[in-house]
Copies of this chain bind each other. A is one copy, B any other.
């Protein structure tokens, strides 16, 4: 029962035209519901197409349609990772809105590597996408050159801390870090440490930390300690890192995590070691992952509008408006751990 029957050639618009007894142009018009045609022609074409099992060839359509401008209805998307739940969320908002608008997303994963992104962008551009959606503001010079030359709408998601190429949708990671520190300081914590993952790659986590330290400095404080893991963020890494940190700096009274999954790991470390949260040690995360709301003590964290960012990115794809930055903000999720 192989599926490979490939009877020969696939049905083309010419076959439908012959079957329906009309011209090719009429078939084209009917199928796209564009231009004028008689009711009778419409019926016959639809009927013939169904009878023949016609599947339009968008490759040809896009090629013929509009050679320059928005060639196809494909939209290239580059995200850094699928392992960090933040990005599937982004993708979720994006694909949802994208296919409401009749677009198809072509997804590439850069693994936080600008050089990898460069290659992905080159590959995506060769499909003549209607637009490109990237993550973050940091790109190689060659990527930027190519993007400029492509003459299509570019959306950069998530990070508004810096100049964008065209449209930027996100929030200020710096401000998130800043607000997080203000919250901890306001709660009276003074010996505040940081637990994070590979900052060399995750530029946005680094920006949050910068904002965090800036706010500490404004309050006359500095990071009490810091523990970085080389790997990607995960609960296991957060757990190990917090344990290491507490061993080194036992008097730490609050910890800022680069990410909620790290923070969740930290929470587990506290549970395992019997450290009272937030009595013995307070925990603060970032992103407000769904899970954290179900914890016995909801995690104190910052809610970032990931779905909304994806959706907004998709919605601004077609808009012919001027370049600009759309800041969707963030919100304190008070929780009970800090």
Contacts and interface: CB of A to CB of B under 8 A. Distances in A.
Interface of A: 1-10, 53, 55-60, 62-63, 67-69, 71-72, 74, 82-83, 85, 87-89, 91-92, 95-96, 99, 104-109, 120, 122-128, 145-154, 163, 165-166, 234-236, 238-239, 261, 264-265, 268, 271-272, 290-291, 293-296, 322-323
A96 B111 CA distance: 10
Contacts of A68: 6, 8-10
B126 A57 contact: yes
Contacts of A239: 294
A324 B115 CA distance: 38
A53 B146 contact: yes
Contact of A88 (B88, B123, B293): B88
B323 A53 contact: no
B95 A82 contact: yes
A107 B108 contact: no
A59 B128 CA distance: 7
A148 B56 contact: no
A61 B300 CA distance: 52
A228 B306 CA distance: 28
Given A1-B323, A59-B59, A165-B3, A238 B294 contact: yes
Contacts of A295: 268
A126 B268 contact: no
